[in-house]
Structure 1
Amino acid sequence: MASQTPLYRQIEAHLLERISSGAYPAHHQIPPEEQLARDFGVSRMTAHKAIRDLVQKGYLIRQAGLGTFVTDRKAESSLHEVLNIAAEVKSRGNSYSNDVLRCEAIDADDEVALRLGVRVGTPTFHSLLVHRENGLPIQLEDRYVNPRWVPNYLQTDFALHTPNEVLVAACPISDVEHVVEAVLADRQTAEWLAMDPATPCLSMIRRTWSGEHLVSYARLIHPGDRYKLRSALQPR
């Protein structure tokens, strides 16, 4: 005989369905344990276990004296690490995909030359990708790479390997620089990211070094309502 789903799992499934459907949006207060226990005909301890598990999984957050609320589960990236965005998405239990918009050799203009530490007109490799989480665009990556340090960059199948994976494999990253600002997307960027042009974006300029070599310069654009950046410091 097939085993019956535990009662606390039934409560979890109910709450997750309400969250995924939008009935319980971010910051919404869920019913208290006592009400869930009555609704499902279970003990308060069983309802407590269901809520505790969803808190541990990051779907809910308890606020002392106020209740339990749905978390804002935006995609999140660390400012202190250079992580593979495909791995980030998969770590949240979601599916990753991307669209390759450009993959080309191009001469450095004034801005690229300055950011990449080369002379104007120096040949560089350029890639432009939209990264998706469950099909939804979460990042536009506009990247320039010094061919001297990653000569096979343009031969990459970006459906299988992200630019980050290629760079790390060719030149292990030793240093990174991030500059973050709030911006409004131009019409083309908004179209690529399937977003309202009036929605604020997070723009992050990232430069990466391997030893003494400045390897890559990238501008990463994230829709502000789908992404957040995290920084954590430990006081000495």
Structure 2
Amino acid sequence: MAQSKYQQIKTHILAHIESGQWSQGDVVPSENQLAQSFAVSRMTARRALQELADQGVLQRNQGAATCVASLKNQSSMLQIRNIADEIRERQHRYRARVIVLESQEADKQIALRLGLTAGSPVYHSLICHWQDEVALQLEQRFINPLLAPDYLQQDFTRITPHEYLCSVAPLTEAEHRVEAILADALTQQYLAMQAGEPCLRLQRTTWSRDGIVSHALLTHPGNKYQLGGHLTFQPSQAQKPAQTLEK
């Protein structure tokens, strides 16, 4: 799977940081240097640097060189809670039911989400997560098999997809979109809801250093979940909110 030019630049920078070649405070190549090295426009190089800065990996100051951000910033770059941990932390019993675990051909929409071509094989899972005797989340997930080749061999009643993917393709980036929807047929069936009842749906796309890992639709009964966030401000940079879903 070919990466876009700006994603190649991000992968290059992340690889140097993860390997220890570049440490906290080290200056990274400038926009001009990256543009020349990767044969791209300065705008493309700027996009890569700015996205890494927005994630807390780099620190950019006007009129100064771009540096590797502090470890404190990087540790809070991406905070995605595991639903099994959330439920157990509330002193409740967690269990999961695997409804679908299969390989299928990507339609145009899923192919676009995963950066693949239509018709490419993708892995698909549908899992219902329970708190005690209440169905709390319906998770529909599409996986890039190139980055998680053993996904279909996992027992997702013992480990969540989030836990497994973090172990084989550590997350470096995520995109969230939250929307209020009415319960569709699938949601009604597995979350024991009635037609027209409100739901909270989180669409989440995640990246590792090698590309897009997964696209997930996480649907919750509207009366059982709320969206929360926490903002951490640094002297020279505002971190993005670390979004979690809490009962």
TM category (shorter chain) comes to: 0.5 to 0.7
Taking the aligned partners of 1:233 and 1:196, their CA distance within structure 2 comes to 36
Q: Give the C-alpha shift of residue 211 in structure 1.
A: 1.2
CA displacement, residues 105-161 of structure 1 (integer Å, 9 cap, x when unaligned): 001001111111110001011000011111211111000111101010000011111
SS in 2 for 1:97: strand
Whether the 8 Å contact between 1:141 and 1:218 is mirrored in structure 2 is: yes
2:93 aligned with 1:95: yes
Choose which of 173, 176, 184 in structure 1 pairs with 2:174. Answer: 176
Q: Give the C-alpha shift of residue 186 in structure 1.
A: 1.0
Per the alignment, residue 191 of structure 1 pairs with 189
Aligned length, in residue pairs: 157
Per the alignment, residue 163 of structure 1 pairs with 161
Q: What do you get for the CA RMSD once the two structures are aligned?
A: 1.2
2:121 aligned with 1:127: no
Per the alignment, residue 113 of structure 1 pairs with 111
Per the alignment, residue 144 of structure 1 pairs with 142
Taking the aligned partners of 1:175 and 1:212, their CA distance within structure 2 comes to 11
Q: Give the C-alpha shift of residue 191 in structure 1.
A: 1.6
SS in 1 for 2:91: coil
Taking the aligned partners of 1:125 and 1:188, their CA distance within structure 2 comes to 19
Per the alignment, residue 226 of structure 1 pairs with 224
Taking the aligned partners of 2:80 and 2:120, their CA distance within structure 1 comes to 26
Whether the 8 Å contact between 2:183 and 2:193 is mirrored in structure 1 is: no
CA displacement, residues 26-61 of structure 1 (integer Å, 9 cap, x when unaligned): xxxxxxxxxxxxxxxxxxxxxxxxxxxxxxxxxxxx
Larger Rg computed on CA atoms:
1
**Matched-pair identity in %:** 43
Letter in 2 for 1:210: S
SS in 1 for 2:125: strand
Letter in 2 for 1:81: Q
4+ long deviations beyond 3 Å: none
Taking the aligned partners of 1:128 and 1:170, their CA distance within structure 2 comes to 20
TM-score normalised by structure 2 residue count: 0.62
Taking the aligned partners of 1:143 and 1:99, their CA distance within structure 2 comes to 14
Q: Give the C-alpha shift of residue 101 in structure 1.
A: 0.7
Whether the 8 Å contact between 1:112 and 1:144 is mirrored in structure 2 is: yes
Q: Give the C-alpha shift of residue 81 in structure 1.
A: 2.2
TM-score normalised by structure 1 residue count: 0.64
Q: Give the C-alpha shift of residue 163 in structure 1.
A: 0.5
Per the alignment, residue 83 of structure 1 pairs with 81
Whether the 8 Å contact between 1:97 and 1:135 is mirrored in structure 2 is: no
